[in-house]
Amino acid sequence: MKLASNEFLQAASAALQEQDKAQRRTIIGQFLPLARDAAASAYGDFDGLRAHMKRVRRHTTAHLSHYLEQFEEAAVQHGNQVHFVANAEQLNSKVLSICQAHSARRVAKGKSMVTEETGLNELLLKAGLDVLETDLGEYIIQQAGETPSHIVGPALHKSLAEIRQLFLDKHKLGDRDLDTVSEVVEEARSVLREKFLAADVGIIGANALIAEHGTSMLVTNEGNGDLCANLPPVLIVCTTFERILPRAEDAMALQRLLVRSATGQPQTCYTSFYTGPRREDDVDGPLETHIILLDNKRSDILASDYSEMLDCIRCGACLNHCPIYIGVGGHAYGWVYPGPMGSVLTPLLNSLEQAHQLPNACTSCGRCAEVCPANIPLPDLLRDLRQDESVQQLKPARWRNGLRLHAWLLRHPALYQSLTGWAMSVLGLLGKRRGTFRRLPFAGSWTGQRDFPAPEGGGTFMRQYAARRRRGGKRG
């Protein structure tokens, strides 16, 4: 997927103009946090579970190679083929070569952010394969030729009316109404069912890899993952190594956190475990299974000060709670991962130079960190990225110089107080009548959208206070 994160400001401003979409996002931003809060409190000690998971993650990353080896060994024993790949190209060409080895023509995909990250579909389509997204949201945006706007609900930006029109245009099924949600879903289901049966290869992601059993876990609400995994003769699980957890019970703890944080459900409709190809007595299942573990800079992240970002379980809660994400929507972020987690991941998985606007799309309000089930200190990581932005001289020079001059002035109280004392007295006088300025030199980025309130008048506090003390001699 083409990276357009440095156009964030323009894209965001454009998104703010789209009233309908903005309205729908506002509703999402109210509904999903309510659902998450209700689920977290119904659970009981949700924060205790978060802390427990954090300890499990710390332990796992400290013994990462041990658990990865354990996973690989167990998975191979069950008949899986395990591939470690370094980057996007390697993942894509691995998948392609598996497809080609089976002379596959049709690929059915479950929802996978990792393959969005690597741009797999594009490559497979170019190679002449028929690639079908089977998650309803992914299917909708694939039909519309769009990209996901949310990591859990990829088509959350689309209205029912848009989806209805899309299906009427794309499915040549003759006359029907599609007036209700269930009619729309029913149509997608019937179109998709046939495709599942015809697919040669199924591709899914994973929410966790269980080291002790060599099993991968997938959490869905639609069951499409199971159909992708079990109907086609070949299954490919595309995921990243940081999904690894030591035990099945750790994966269950993750699942409890994930589902409540993502949708506010206590449980998704499907939680599936894939262990390997069909065994002798099995009635169904794939004949051949591959697990591809992608690195794509994650080893670098692990070794950096941003390693906690690898604890992310992709629940999307930080998106739903972020007023900036809700304000501008996912597409403005210009890549696969939006919102607070995306503002950290996009620069790390690409380069800060290509995405340095994103860490600035944050008011440090802290709401994301408050709900992140993985307890990732997102605002701190974003601030650290802003620091890197400054060190790498990516920030506009006038901002950087202005802030540094200000900080220098702060360390010279006498000078600061005399300069501000003078300036505020003047501004106070000039703004006395109206109380605000509509325009002010050097303050265009403030006054573009708001008036600049005039200082209260009478000069700065420090000046007035000093004068009162001189007059009254009273201890302040």
Partner 1 sequence: MDKPHPKRKRSRQRRDVALMVTCLADLMRPSVGFSAIRLLERAGCRVTVPEQQTCCGQPAYNSGEVDAAVPVARAVIEAFEPFDYVVVPSGSCAGMLNHHYPALFEGEWHERALALSAKTWELTRFLTEVARLPAPRHKPLESAVTYHDSCAGLRELGVHQQPRQLLQEQCGVQVSELSQNQVCCGFGGTFCARMPDISAKMADDKLDNALATGAAVVAGGDLGCLLHLAGRARRRGLALEFRHVAELLAGDPRGPGIGEGRE
- Residues forming contacts to ligand SF4 in the complex (CB under 6 A) are 261, 312-318, 341, 372-374, 376
Kindly state the helix (H) or strand (E) to which residue 66 belongs, with its residue range: helix 64-77
Quick one: tokens of 217?
Answer: 């876990």
Q: Dihedral angle at the C-alpha atoms of 48, 53, 59, 65, nearest 10 degrees? A: 180
Nearer to ligand SF4, 338 or 459 (CB): 338
- What is the DSSP-derived secondary structure letter of residue 412? -
Q: Supply the minimum distance, in Å, between the C-beta of residue 12 and partner 1.
A: 6
Distance CA 178, CA 158 (A): 15
Q: Count CB-CB contacts under 10 A for residue 379.
A: 18
4 binds, among ligand SF4, partner 1, none (CB under 5 to 8 A by kind): none
Q: Supply the minimum distance, in Å, between the C-beta of residue 53 and partner 1.
A: 21
286 binds, among ligand SF4, partner 1, none (CB under 5 to 8 A by kind): none
Give 344's contacts (C-beta < 8 A, 6+ positions apart).
Answer: 306, 309, 359, 378, 381, 382, 385
- What is the DSSP-derived secondary structure letter of residue 392? T
Question: Which strands sit side by side in the sheet containing 270-274, from one edge to the other?
Answer: 244-245, 208-210, 215-220, 270-274
315 binds, among ligand SF4, partner 1, none (CB under 5 to 8 A by kind): ligand SF4
Nearer to partner 1, 223 or 428 (CB): 428
Q: Supply the minimum distance, in Å, between the C-beta of residue 375 and ligand SF4.
A: 8
Distance CA 362, CA 176 (A): 45
Give 421's contacts (C-beta < 8 A, 6+ positions apart).
Answer: 459, 460, 462, 463
Nearer to partner 1, 266 or 323 (CB): 323
Quick one: tokens of 309?
Answer: 């970002």
Nearer to ligand SF4, 278 or 297 (CB): 297
Nearest residue to 440 (alpha-carbon basis) of 166, 179, 430: 430
Question: CA end-to-end span of the chain, whole Å?
Answer: 62
Nearer to partner 1, 266 or 453 (CB): 453
Q: Supply the minimum distance, in Å, between the C-beta of residue 94 and partner 1.
A: 38
Q: Supply the minimum distance, in Å, between the C-beta of residue 89 and ligand SF4.
A: 26
Nearer to partner 1, 200 or 384 (CB): 384
Nearer to ligand SF4, 237 or 318 (CB): 318
Nearer to partner 1, 156 or 361 (CB): 361
Q: Supply the minimum distance, in Å, between the C-beta of residue 352 and partner 1.
A: 11
388 binds, among ligand SF4, partner 1, none (CB under 5 to 8 A by kind): partner 1
Distance CA 351, CA 5 (A): 10
Nearer to ligand SF4, 290 or 314 (CB): 314
Q: Supply the minimum distance, in Å, between the C-beta of residue 468 and partner 1.
A: 8
374 binds, among partner 1, ligand SF4, none (CB under 5 to 8 A by kind): ligand SF4
200 binds, among ligand SF4, partner 1, none (CB under 5 to 8 A by kind): none
Q: Supply the minimum distance, in Å, between the C-beta of residue 213 and ligand SF4.
A: 24
Q: Supply the minimum distance, in Å, between the C-beta of residue 21 and partner 1.
A: 13
Q: Supply the minimum distance, in Å, between the C-beta of residue 114 and ligand SF4.
A: 14
Contacts 24+ apart (CB under 8 A), 127-132: 127/96, 127/99, 127/100, 129/99, 129/104, 129/105, 130/105, 130/106, 131/107, 132/106, 132/107, 132/108, 132/192, 132/195, 132/199
Nearer to ligand SF4, 69 or 370 (CB): 370
18 binds, among partner 1, ligand SF4, none (CB under 5 to 8 A by kind): none
Distance CA 29, CA 322 (A): 8
The answer to whether residues 357 and 6 touch, using CB atoms and an 8 Å cutoff, is: yes
376 binds, among partner 1, ligand SF4, none (CB under 5 to 8 A by kind): ligand SF4
114 binds, among ligand SF4, partner 1, none (CB under 5 to 8 A by kind): none
349 binds, among partner 1, ligand SF4, none (CB under 5 to 8 A by kind): none
436 binds, among ligand SF4, partner 1, none (CB under 5 to 8 A by kind): partner 1
CA atoms lying within 13 Å on the CB side of residue 189: 8
Q: Supply the minimum distance, in Å, between the C-beta of residue 379 and partner 1.
A: 9
Nearer to ligand SF4, 313 or 454 (CB): 313
**119: exposed, middle or buried (Cβ count in 10 Å: 0-12, 13-18, 19+):** middle
